[in-house]
Amino acid sequence: MTLVRLGFVAMSMSLKNASPSQTMTFAQFSKINDREAAIRKLERIAVSNLENCLRILRHCAVHDIAFFRLSSKLIPLANHPDLPEWKFLKPLSDVLGQIAEFLTKHPKMRVDFHPDHFVLLNGSQVDILTNSLKTLRIHQQLLKGMKINPEHRCVLHVGGGYQDKEKALEQFIHNWGLISVSLQQMIILENDDKTFGLADTLYLCEKLGIPQVFDYHHHLANHPPMPSWEEEWERVIGTWQHSSLPPKMHISSPRSAEEYRAHSDYIDSKMFLDFLNGMKGSLPQLDCMIEAKQKDEALFQLMEDLKQYPEIEIVDGASFFIK
């Protein structure tokens, strides 16, 4: 049997007034004549985001959810080039400490990040790579502020194809050598739905020692006829052999046949069960991140839907065994 734990992304649909992604644009910031007052307002927004993040984590604990993706928009304008003097960590230390204390009391809870699509490690432009690494360092600082070991906590896509996929893969390998070891250790790679499929991502993961996050929906949208994902599954698991965390994957469902790549509000339990039956028994535990528009509500609905299948043994409100 394999234990499967479900998680959701960034925001709760159940909690009211609990957005962890409140923001301020630089245009709005610039309209405030007093720069110090503008920075204080930024800090209040960031504190509110983190307080809401803590509310969501408490909500997770109540509902047995031990897997959660933090919003990458917790600190608005944190990496903006026109705010080099802003040392944002100090005014956030109290609330980061509260999150750290909560996570210490819930040691089985896994939290991570999925930085935005503009974080690219396989481009040839120096400024893009520089900005991407700056963004990753911010994520690293936040993780450390929450007393979370940053190792294998940031999911990234391989990046752009740039009209030459093989060259783009080799550019990733070249750029990897320019990245500090501490940032390298944060990164795990996900197959995407258009360019870099499972085989491409596995190539990099095995070559560079990076854990592979298998996105089942992306694979269905972007895969060659052979080999099947089941034939590659042992290789996927193998990329996690040196990690202290169990393997993780992403699950979502197509919005429609016409909009196949778009994510649906909820998860198609039959589609998910196809995956589960293909991997069951291959590993002790798998953490599955739900990428659905209805967030935690999609998780609750999926758990209800899974109760109808005899091969599913419910453990608690957000985990089960696949027999």
Q: Is the pLDDT of residue 206 over 90?
A: yes
Q: What is the mean pLDDT of residues 164-190?
A: 97
The pLDDT score that the predictor gives to residue 226 is 81
Q: Is the pLDDT of residue 46 over 90?
A: yes
Q: What is the mean pLDDT of residues 292-302?
A: 98
The pLDDT score that the predictor gives to residue 224 is 86
Residue 188 DSSP SS3? strand
Q: Helices in the chain by DSSP H: which ranges?
A: 26-30, 35-62, 89-105, 126-145, 165-176, 181-184, 198-208, 216-221, 229-238, 269-279, 295-306
- The fraction of the chain above a pLDDT of 90, given in percent, is 97
Q: What is the mean pLDDT of residues 61-83?
A: 96
The DSSP H or E segment spanning 288 is: strand 285-290
117 pLDDT band, cuts 50/70/90, is confident
For the chain, domains (ranges, CATH) are 2-322 (3.20.20.150)
- pLDDT digits 0-9 by tens, 238-271: 999 999 999 999 999 999 999 999 999 999 999 9
Q: What is the mean pLDDT of residues 186-210?
A: 97
> Distance of CA 10 to CAs 6, 54, 122, 238, 294, Å?
14, 11, 26, 28, 11
225 pLDDT band, cuts 50/70/90, is confident
Q: What is the mean pLDDT of residues 172-199?
A: 97
Q: What mean pLDDT, rounded, does the chain reach?
A: 96
The pLDDT score that the predictor gives to residue 130 is 95
CA–CA distance, 289 with 249 (Å, rounded to integer): 6
Task: State the CB neighbour count (10 A cutoff) for residue 204.
Answer: 22
Q: Is the pLDDT of residue 129 over 90?
A: yes
Q: Is the pLDDT of residue 169 over 90?
A: yes
CA–CA distance, 255 with 190 (Å, rounded to integer): 20
- The fraction of the chain above a pLDDT of 70, given in percent, is 100
